[in-house]
Chains A and B, each alone.
Chain A
């Protein structure tokens, strides 16, 4: 009996030892608002709502969450809202790399530094897609044709990720494009399926339906190595069978879009660390892994200083490119 009591005491001690630092940790005390930098139904919206449902299901936070969509100005609205939140640590903003790209090209009412990076949770790949009957058998042939005369390419929004990529390819290869901005990647996918444009740079999820249906085909992926999903998508190809654009001779080695989570810049280290911890647990769940596989996104998890450094680096690169393209504005 005494032995048993001692065990309990030991057990309690051990628990106390584990719990003690956790008790000092910051925790949200009221419902957390998930502010989404896109309209309902978009990629960023799915990202935020999936995380909400995972947190709810596995009880990873002691409070409720409310998702609000603020997609105005290509997401600017959400970041401005995050900036105006001030020191309130109960507002998380969900976006992509648009957080640090938007202020460079539009008068947007916030600076990238107004928000504090919490975590980058996955990266979405970009591919070069063309119509099934297009004469280009590979990416090299496509670029060669675009050097002869400008080709019409389409993408989602203006001066956003798709058009930035088209500029990068132009500068890297001397190809020439006429870029036509559509409202969404879905529209760009349909326009390509109907052969109204020559190519688009859609994310896997945006074009997979048309690929399966044999209306479009991928030429290359803008990633340092091939994608990892080797389950057949069409009769004879999987995502892993698509060559990288570097292999195909386009010197844009890497172009990916991170899915990101932000707090107001006034948030403390503990607060940022708390949310980064929650997101790390989200990333471990089966639901998260299934979502990545289903949408063919690449797993990558960056937090803290590493993420902040990455933001700085990518922003500097973007600034150089935008300067060359004549897109820069001062905020």
Chain B
């Protein structure tokens, strides 16, 4: 297990040159910039930088790209919290409590909590990679379609089954999300679905377009209705508050630990950072002592998804390097880069190019520290944005939203689509339909569907395939238990209530 430590130390020697540290700082700053602009995001940023790296040596190139990736992940959380616009799919869950906190005048605290827990999660992820690299790679190979489906089901179940609110409204929102995820080409049959002959719908409905509309524009309309102002104006911004918040971090040790575990698990399996952050948020809301406060600006609701998001993001680098499976869109672009630099991702990369792999892992330690320090330094700056009058900021947000949507696919149609989603987002809020299940279904819906149908092809149509081996069976069983949890809890609750009623009746009667 500790055989890897000398290799890692050698990696630090490579990563700790002035040249590489400068690349890290540059990469992180660029990343924060693209992360803050919704839609531009990490995948596009990395794609734009990729041609620049062709003339670099592979170690420098990957350090620059991964640093940019970390920066973008942090930047994505910033807009989630300040404007309710998730810059990255995986920071959607951060909006649930992060934005309410900002609205309550606690923007500085929310940002600090987010960055600190993100840094913590990433560290745990990297440590897991360092210690368990070979075992994790073997474990990831055990995953086929039935196991993937079980993982996605688990993510759905932990979020939906454990959530509060009206179950029927949740189902409406969820199925609507599944329908949106269906649009475009179907992997399994190759045919086009729900495109109605529109060429524009060929590429499907982009998740980012939906999210920018539902959250960003929807929220803007609501804020306008409520009187054209942020409630945050009253908040005092001082760097001191950042340190005070950092001092409060240990209070959330359990949420940090739980989030890291969920994140590492989802990163390695590989369910991905988005699934991880939703699952972590869902579990935290269900089992937290302050669960009633979730959704209204609870710090634990920021800590939980951010930790899991970054733990998954960093531990997902391992399957990418060892197996060549990209865990995310960004990873896919980086994989393409690896090949252009002349490296072959796969089990032999660790043996053939240890300097590259361990240089990269060492740069993940350093890059994350650099990123946390840099983003914490920007907190007062970003929090100050909220003090600018809403009438000035709002048009800026709208234009940033539209630019973001445009960069997704350079398509005019998407600009109309985002408006439509803005209206849907507003209506959902007014009618008290939850948006989160819709978003979750859009992210995981088509993946879960593919995995399910691939499993059915493999088993010849038998559902038994989800229990055909211990791994799939355990995952499926946990998912089903979580899914049935509200019903079980209700029945148990009722029985307890009726037992209490009987006991009460008995007590009443006994004196006579």
A contact residues vs B (CB 8 Å cutoff): 39-42, 45-46, 49-50, 52-53, 56, 68-74, 76-77, 80, 84, 105-109, 152, 157-160, 178-183, 186-187, 189-191, 193-194, 196, 205, 208-210, 212-215, 291, 294-295
Contact = CB atoms under 8 A, between A and B. Distances in A.
Contacts of B187: 157-158, 181-183
B189 to A, nearest CB: 6
A160 B51 contact: no
Contact of B325 (A50, A72, A152, A190): A190
A105 B185 CA distance: 12
Nearest to A212: B348
B202 A73 contact: yes
B259 interface: no
B202 A213 contact: no
Interface stretch (B152-160, B326-334, B397-405, B420-428): B326-334
B143 interface: yes
Given A73-B202, A109-B199, A209-B348, A193 B323 contact: yes
A158 B188 CA distance: 6
Contacts, number: 143
Given A45-B336, A76-B185, A180-B458, A209 B347 contact: yes
A20 B289 CA distance: 83
A213 B347 CA distance: 5
B142 interface: yes
A294 B339 contact: yes
B291 interface: no
Contacts of A191: 144
Interface string B178-195: 000000111111111000
A72 B47 contact: no
Contacts of B192: 73, 106-108
A41 B141 contact: no
Interface string B91-127: 0000000000000000000000000000000000000
Interface size class of B (residues with CB under 8 A): 35 or more
Contacts of B450: 182-183
Given A181-B190, A196-B144, A208-B344, A76 B202 contact: yes
Contact of A157 (B190, B333, B410): B190
Nearest to B345: A209
A71 B342 CA distance: 24
Contact of B349 (A109, A160, A186, A209): A209
A329 to B, nearest CB: 8
A256 B454 CA distance: 26
Given A41-B332, A42-B336, A194-B141, A186 B202 contact: no
A73 B324 contact: no
B54 A53 contact: yes
Given A53-B54, A107-B192, A178-B457, A40 B333 contact: yes
A108 to B, nearest CB: 8
Contacts of B409: 70
Contact of A74 (B47, B185, B329): B185
A68 B409 CA distance: 8
Contacts of A106: 185, 190-192
A40 B184 contact: no
Given A41-B335, A73-B202, A212 B346 contact: yes
29 contacts: A39-B332, A40-B47, A40-B333, A49-B51, A53-B51, A68-B410, A73-B192, A74-B185, A76-B202, A106-B191, A107-B192, A107-B197, A109-B197, A157-B190, A158-B188, A159-B190, A178-B458, A180-B145, A181-B454, A186-B325, A190-B324, A194-B143, A196-B145, A209-B344, A209-B349, A212-B347, A291-B340, A294-B342, A295-B339
